[in-house]
Amino acid sequence: MTGSENMKLGSLFGRPKTLASSKKQVPVKESKLAVEMEKKKKPGQFDIVWPKVEPQQVKDYKAILTVSELKKYLERCIQTGKVGFDWETAASKEIRVHYKNSFEDIEEARTTGIIDDKEAESRSESLEKAYLKTPLDPWKGEICTVSLSAAAHESRVVPISHKIGQVFEPSMDRDEARKLVLDLLDEYLFKNEKVLKIAVNLSFETKYAAKYGKYILGKVADPLIMWVRCLQIAAPQKINNPKKPTSGWGLKPATKHIFGVTMNDFSALLKKYKVNFFDEIDASKGEGLLYSAEDSDYAVQHYEYWSQIAAQIPRYEEWLHKIEMPFTRVIGLMEYWGMNWDPNLATQKKQEAEIMQEQAAERIKQIAKETFNIDINTGKSGKTNEVKSLMFDYLKIPIAKYGKTGASLDQEALIDMAFMLENKLNDIDEEKYLGVSFPENWEKIDPEKDPTLDKLERGAIRIAKREPHPYKEQALEVIDQLKKIQKYTTLLSSHIIGREKYLNFMSGRIHAGYSPFTETGRLNSFNPNGQNVPRPDNDEFKIRNFFVPKPGKILFFIDFSGFELRLMAWKSGDEVMTELFNTGGDMHRRTASVMTGKPEDEIVKKERTDAKAGNFGRVIGLMPK
């Protein structure tokens, strides 16, 4: 649910049946947060005065080819107090050799008849896609160009390692030249607390800086964070996809939206010159220089534009500069270092899971053979038509729900089917009869003829008088074995095979991606999801043990208690919340007390759970009408 949507708290928590009357209701101190939430403006209600966009000036874009020129421009960045910067990257020498050999291996396999032409073409296409993405990975790519901008409408490009055109300090080895450039950036900018470092998608620049042992310290800004957050708050209608707010708002479309400028397209540039990577284009002049220079120039321009909008949002500018934008560096470092993976342990557990999966399937086949003398194919997932026929045609298991292809066998359906079998239900809707009190001497009552029975009593007696299911034990075991098959299938696809395919062959690590653009304010993880590792108390195969520290290092787990609520107490200055956290009080129990009117010591678990949902809902903008 987005912050712009409203709902009544009653629809979330339900209406309490009774209030505690045996004890005096506890007086609750007025909450500053409650008052603030009532006054809080909703997205789109901030009456923003959008800045006037001035026409673009004649561009001052030049290449820097010597140390003295670079130092001179770095001094200018110190004078202006800011620098927009950007990396252009390309596949490393080692990676080019690796993929060249891989392409040759495919061709050799084709010519020797090991694989046919179709398979060779398919493998080559997949390999090429992976190859062209290597510049995005600092473990497989190198910085080939740096662009710097000390002020709007100007930029300097440092071509470090290009196969054509002029390069920085041409007499030096390219690795040494790259180290020299980064050392100077580190000395003049990254360690300089007075210079604001500006980069669109700062996490990417952070990753590549970390590759060379450099860390972007001090003041930073990421215009991507600025325009997405400002739009979410001040003009949510301009966001194309609320679930993916960066969609249609990358650097190039954002520059077109705001400044009316069409920036050069990277893919079109490579296609024009018929090359794979940027280092195969001359960046010391022409289109290569222009492409690289624009990124840092418009980073500065966007920063200056969106700063004017952020300043109009009460109390947001400080949060943006001290929390949100600096945090993108943390994301970059998390993505760069990733998690070390134990392939041997993963392989061992994979084999164990496959064995258990097969054992569960064999047991289902055995039940079918022993009970009905039929042979069935369970498949890997256990969801074949033959399994469905066994369950519904032979075992007569009541169907819990239907999917697109007939009776469902998902986890929820399996749980409901087992529940129906245990309670002699023909339909899951009959569950409402299970808690009904029976009339006296109900065993002698005919539920079809007795006019004194109400509907619930009639249904309850019908169920109680039913004969036990003839294949109850076999049916329950089939359901249990199907649960096991699905459990091991999920384990393999999501937690072993699903993670192994992201193992970086250069680092030996899994580098999950992270995005801060979520509706809850928490991080979203992808490729693979690094946040859905099973909890230790629900992890038969100890998946967390697949992630191992390097020698001499340790891994430790931290679970912050009520982290978002503590942030909310800090930012709101709410005295009630602050007191609770400082004295070890129970925030959720206190909220439940306010909701129900009961003293805190009378609050039951469900009431506290409902209040917990409300407390965390407030953090993401959920509020009563």
Tokens of 113: 């008849």
Residue 464 has pLDDT above 70, yes or no: yes
Strand 141-149 versus strand 154-159 pairing type? antiparallel
Residues 6+ apart with CB under 8 A from 492: 350, 353, 354, 357, 498
- Confirm if 253 and 263 have CB atoms less than 8 A apart: no
The rounded percent of the chain whose pLDDT value lies above 70 is 92
What crossing angle do the helices spanning 575-583 and 563-572 adopt, rounded to 10°? 130
Q: What is the pLDDT of residue 538?
A: 75
Tens digits of residue pLDDT in 181-229? 999 999 999 999 999 999 999 999 999 999 999 999 999 999 999 999 9
Q: Is 37 inside a domain boundary?
A: no
pLDDT band at 584 (very low <50, low <70, confident <90, very high): confident
203 and 279 share a domain? yes
Indicate whether 351 pLDDT > 80: yes
How many Å from the N-terminal Cα to the C-terminal Cα in the chain?
14
Q: In the chain, count of helices (H) and strands (E)?
A: 23, 13
Q: Is residue 159 part of a domain?
A: yes
Task: Mark whether 257 and 352 lie in a shared domain.
Answer: no
Asked if residue 284 and residue 199 are part of one domain, the reply reads: yes
More confident residue, 406 or 35: 406
Contact present, 369 and 377 (Cβ < 8 Å): no
Is residue 495, in this structure, part of any structural domain at all?
A: no
Give residue 14's pLDDT: 36
Would residue 621 count as lying in a domain?
yes
Domain boundary among 75, 104, 137: 137
Q: Phi and psi (nearest 5°) for 400?
A: -85, -45
Q: Binning pLDDT at 50, 70 and 90, where does residue 47 land?
A: confident
Residue 39 lies in a domain: no
Min mean pLDDT across 381-395, 459-473, 503-517, 574-588 is at 574-588
Is 610 among the domain residues? yes
User: According to the model, what pLDDT value does residue 537 have?
Assistant: 77
Does one domain contain both 20 and 65?
no
d(CA 130, CA 617) in angstroms, rounded, equals 41
415/418 Cα distance (integer angstroms): 5
Cα dihedral 17/22/23/27 (nearest 10): 30
Task: Give the mean model confidence (pLDDT) for residues 364-393.
Answer: 94
Give the pLDDT score at 25: 52
Asked which of 120, 137, 154 is the last residue of a domain, the reply is 137
Say whether both 71 and 97 belong to one domain: no
DSSP letter for 87, please: E
d(CA 36, CA 618): 12
- Return phi, psi of residue 196, to 5°: -80, 120
The count of residues in the chain is 625
CA-CA-CA-CA torsion sign (531, 536, 541, 545): positive
Q: If pLDDT is split at 50, 70 and 90, which confidence band does 266 have?
A: very high
pLDDT band at residue 13 using 50, 70 and 90 as cut-offs: very low
Confirm whether 439 is domain-assigned: yes
Strand partners, 147: 86, 157
Q: In the prediction, which pLDDT does 594 show?
A: 87
Q: Mark whether 223 and 246 lie in a shared domain.
A: yes
User: Using only C-alpha atoms, what is the Rg of the chain?
Assistant: 32
End-of-domain residue from the set 304, 338, 372: 338
d(CA 622, CA 8): 9
Domain holding 250, by residue range, is 60-85+140-338
Q: What is the pLDDT of residue 7?
A: 32
- In this prediction, residue 30 carries a pLDDT of 57
**Statement to judge: residues 228 and 373 lie in one domain:** no
> Does residue 228 share a domain with residue 325?
yes
Least confident range of 167-171, 406-410, 596-600, 614-618: 614-618
C-alpha 488/C-alpha 541 separation (Å) is 10
Which residue shows structure tokens 């091991």?
A: 488
pLDDT value at position 2? Answer: 41
pLDDT at position 73 is: 99
Instruction: Map tokens 């952020």 to a residue.
Output: 310
353/290 same-domain check: no
In order of 112, 208, 369, the CA distances from 329 in angstroms are 49, 11, 60
Average predicted confidence (pLDDT) for the chain: 90
Q: The whole model's pTM is what?
A: 0.81
Structural tokens at position 410: 């998902």
Q: Please report, for the domain that includes residue 212, its CATH number.
A: 3.30.420.10
Of residues 446 and 567, which shows the higher confidence score?
446
Burial class (CB in 10 A: 0-12, 13-18, 19+), 395: buried
What distance in Å separates the CA atoms of residue 595 and residue 326, rounded to the nearest whole number? 38
Distance CA 483, CA 563 (A): 35
Instruction: Tell me: pLDDT of 45 over 90.
Output: no
Q: Is residue 556 part of a domain?
A: yes
Per-residue model confidence (pLDDT) at position 8: 31
**404 and 465 belong to one structural domain:** yes
| 420 and 457 belong to one structural domain | yes
Do 283 and 211 lie in one domain? The reply is yes
Q: What's the average model confidence in pLDDT over 420-431?
A: 94
pLDDT at site 43: 67
Q: Which of 502, 547, 505, 528 is nearest to 139 (CA)?
A: 505
Q: Is the pLDDT at 364 greater than 90, yes or no?
A: yes
The whole-number pLDDT of residue 405 equals 83
Tally the domains of the chain. 4
How many CA within 13 A on the CB side of residue 500? 15
